[in-house]
Structure 1
């Protein structure tokens, strides 16, 4: 299976084979930016589908991290307050 890389400009995403230097140069001149992700796929459509899956997973991971970053300090504060009420004198 060929390796595909991705170029993005605003909402447009183009997938092209990693070895296609001519199209890569044209896209770069048109203002597209090369993305970090590279995948192996049967064709461009499958590569774009996998790229979309990777981006969705990344957004979910970021959301879960933020949720944990907010929740964990809140749990710590609640634990500290609760321990003050149940402390033996």
Structure 2
């Protein structure tokens, strides 16, 4: 149980650090050469049939560009941003 709360704190800490640096899906795609759709599909929940794991080469690129800690949490955070934007759009209609 302690590990899960630690994980959440790490994601919150990472999110604020990454936003200060101005990282987003487009910038990460340009910096790593991994397509935006591939990055987005890789951060879907495990039980989602649309999820596609990044290959080893893509994972290595992500970690090389963002660093090991930030590369690990980038995709999780980015998916949440995409979902929040989509939900806000749907509420307007």
TM-score w.r.t. the length of structure 1 is 0.34
- Structure exhibiting the larger radius of gyration computed from Cα positions: 1
TM-score w.r.t. the length of structure 2 is 0.33
More strand by share: 1
